[in-house]
Amino acid sequence: MKICVIGAGYVGLVSGSCFADLGNFVWCVDKDKQKIDMLNNNQIPIFEPGLKDLINKNYSSGRLKFTTNLNLAVKNSDIIFICVGTPTSNKKGSADLRYVYKVVAELSLYINKFKIIVTKSTVPVTTGDKIEKIILKKKRKKLFEVVSNPEFLREGEAIRDFRFPDRIVIGANSKIATKKLKSLYDPLIKKGAIFFSTNRRGAELIKYASNAFLATKISFMNEISNLCEKTGVNVEDVSIGIGLDKRIGSRFLRVGPAYGGSCFPKDTKALTFTGTLFKTDLSIIKSVIKSNEKRRIFLTERVKKILSNKIKNKKITFLGVTFKPNTDDMRQSSSLLMIPYLHERGAKINYYDPSGEKKEFSRLKNVFFCNDINEACEKVDLVIIHTEWDEFKSLDFKKLYRKRKFKIYDMRNLYSPRDMKKQGFSYHSIGRQN
Ligand code: UDX
Ligand code: UDX
């Protein structure tokens, strides 16, 4: 099939290159000319494992093309996926849909025959209805169908999540569109993916409810870990013990510094805003948002305690600053709160992250990017393991220690308190007896 993907971001680039890899012809469009030029020069603007090879393979086969020309791409496609950003607007946390509506208004000019317009971006319930109204100003109803096909891609594992999804959700108010999308996804369905179709608003709500539930699971476990610390229980035992119940499931019960990323924080807020709009109090999700925000502050202040309330002039190293491993994405990462907080209180901060230096810290005069772990951990008072990149999972602390005995604050519980204590390290972690 001939496909147009609008928005060459984390979602659009992965979706576009994966659709091309399924044998379709894909135009990937973005308004950012610099980004398109990079892609046409074999450079990838984001850090996503496997994406470079996937793009190269399909670009050289001629199945994947990058352009800023929306007119050309829409006219030469049957299915148009909208993958532009839907960030949180400052107005009470609702989703900012201006990019979606702008793209829709423009693409409707170029509809020259029947098209299926698909929202893959996370959009609030009823957005499809509004998109339909915008297009109807320019085109007759029989020339298009608007469909919801939300993405469930995790950054760092997005290609695998596309290729082996638990389910493909299609929300359409027409059988033709559902049939067309089902044949597009046929190669994945043949490999076991479950195809689930509902109406358009149903699919829009499934996406938000999914992310909000996952965020709830994480926040629930994070709060239980606070109780574990007070009651002398190992939070990992609790997460295994409850996760063995098939009704709960063992995934997304890992404690950490607070969930971040471009989705959970944005989507939980947007869902509560939808609740308000439809006069429905989503009190559980509101408390998840509050609990997660409180956790960021609570765990940041723990640094003060670990350093016996003396932060000024202390040398602190962050191992990992991204919101999760295998991505360069800093959106809503807890390091964005922790590092400025410690910097304001006079700490000198090194950080090392495998995805490279971060512009977010460039204006902080006592925050330095280090090119490797040894350099970052030299003569410091405290090492904070913030993001669970693989290379932090088997550190040789004795070797890193050589110049000065530093304390360790393991925010991802990568090491065992017992072993660390046996080796004489001053080790702090989450939800366990340190
Ligand atoms: C984002 C959200 O993270 C995700 O939850 C939502 O489902 C889709 O939007 P992401 O790929 O991370 O996904 O967005 P982003 O990385 O911001 O990329 C959006 C791209 O769209 C950017 O490259 C931007 O230049 C492009 N864009 C935006 C257009 O091409 N045209 C526009 O009018 C606006
Ligand atoms: C999430 C959803 O998983 C995905 O389905 C949706 O399409 C987009 O949003 P993503 O945000 O990329 O994906 O990453 P994810 O792996 O879900 O992690 C999100 C945050 O939760 C990260 O900050 C991560 O550290 C945290 N997390 C995740 C935990 O703290 N504990 C866990 O057990 C899992």
- What does each of the 434 residues of the chain score in pLDDT, given as a tens digit? 999 999 999 999 999 999 999 999 999 999 999 999 999 999 999 999 999 999 999 999 999 999 999 999 999 999 999 999 999 887 778 899 999 999 999 999 999 999 999 999 999 999 999 999 999 999 999 999 999 999 999 999 999 999 999 999 999 999 999 999 999 999 999 999 999 999 999 999 999 999 999 999 999 999 999 999 999 999 999 999 999 999 999 999 999 999 999 999 999 999 999 999 999 999 999 999 999 999 999 999 999 999 999 999 999 999 999 999 999 999 999 999 999 999 999 999 999 999 999 999 999 999 999 999 999 999 999 999 999 999 999 999 988 887 678 999 999 999 999 999 998 899 999 999 87
Indicate which residue's Cα is closest to atom 34 of ligand 1: 99
Residue 30 CB–ligand 1 contact under 6 Å: yes
Shortest CA distance to 40 belongs to which of 3, 328, 32, 78? 32
d(CA 195, CA 185): 8
Report whether residue 260 contacts ligand 2, using a CB cutoff of 6 Å: yes
Protein residue with its CA nearest to atom 15 in ligand 1:
9
- 162 near 52, Cβ under 8 Å? no
Ligand whose nearest atom lies closest to the CA of 46: 1
Catalytic residues: 263
Q: How far does the centroid of ligand 1 lie from the alpha carbon of residue 295, in Å?
A: 28
Q: How many whole angstroms separate alpha carbon 45 and alpha carbon 123?
A: 24
Which atom belonging to ligand 2 lies closest to the Cα atom of 257? 30
The backbone torsions φ and ψ at residue 417, rounded to the nearest 5 degrees and listed phi first, read -55, -40
Cβ of residue 150 lying under 6 Å from some atom of ligand 2: no
Q: Which ligand is nearest to the CA of 266?
A: 1
- Name 299's bridge partners: none
**Integer Cα distance of 15 and 18 in angstroms:** 5
Ligand nearest to the CA of 95: 1
CATH 3.40.50.720 fits 2-198, yes or no: yes
Separation of 4 CA from ligand 1 center, angstroms? 14
Q: Matching CATH topology for 2-198 and 200-434? A: yes
Ligand 1 midpoint to CA 119 (Å): 12
Pocket probe for ligand 2: among 324, 333, 336, 386, the residue whose CB has the most ligand atoms within 8 Å is 324
User: Which atom, in ligand 2's list, is nearest to the CA of 260?
Assistant: 23
Superfamily of domain 200-434: NAD(P)-binding Rossmann-like Domain (3.40.50.720)
- Contacts (Cβ under 8 Å, ≥6 apart) of 199: 171, 172, 173
Q: In angstroms, what CA-CA distances link 183 with 63, 153, 176, 195?
A: 18, 21, 11, 10
The answer, yes or no, to whether any atom of ligand 1 lies below 6 A from the CB of 431, is no
7 touches ligand 1 (CB under 6 Å): yes
Question: Among 11, 35, 263, 329, which residue has the most ligand 1 atoms within 8 Å of its CB, making it the best to mutate?
Answer: 11
Q: What angle do CA 413, 414, 418 make, to 5 degrees?
A: 75
Whole-number Å distance, alpha carbon 120 to ligand 2 midpoint, is 18
Of the residues 122, 153, 154, which should be mutated to test ligand 2's pocket, given the most ligand atoms within 8 Å of the CB? 154
Give the pairing of strands 115-119 and 144-148. parallel
**What pTM was computed for the model?**
0.94
In angstroms, the Cα distances linking 62 to 5, 17, 40, 49, 68 are 16, 11, 12, 22, 17
Beta carbon of 162 within 6 Å of any ligand 2 atom: no
Q: Domain ranges for the chain, please list them.
A: 2-198, 200-434
- Contacts of residue 114, defined as CB under 8 A and 6 or more positions apart, other chains included, come to 78, 142, 143, 144, 145
Q: Distance (Å, rounded) from C-alpha 114 to C-alpha 146? A: 11
32 lines ligand 1 (CB under 6 A): yes
Query: What's the gap in Å between 302 CA and the centre of ligand 1?
Result: 35
